[in-house]
Amino acid sequence: MAPQKQQLDERIKAVRIEADAFIDKRAAEIAKTCPGVPVETIRRSITRGISCACAAALLIAEQENAA
């Protein structure tokens, strides 16, 4: 793999990990106020089923900024 492509791959993976952590943190915060609701259900709800972690994290951040 070319060094430039490898660097891009590594940056994308790092951003995805960061996005997943952001979503998990927000889902855990909401779960504290919703006893009995599984965190995965909350995660699916706040991400609206978007499978791309980066796009989902942007959606959540935009909603929080609009509130």
Q: Tell me the Cα Rg of the chain.
A: 14
- With residue 15 as reference, give the H or E element that holds it: helix 3-31
- In the chain, where the domains are located: 3-66
Q: Which tokens in the block code for residue 49?
A: 């089923």
Q: What confidence tens digit (pLDDT) does each residue in 3-53 have? A: 777 789 999 999 999 999 999 999 999 999 999 999 999 999 999 989 999
Q: In 3D, which of 52, 34, 35, 9 has the Cα closest to residue 60?
A: 52
pTM for the model stands at: 0.82
How many whole angstroms separate alpha carbon 6 and alpha carbon 31? 37
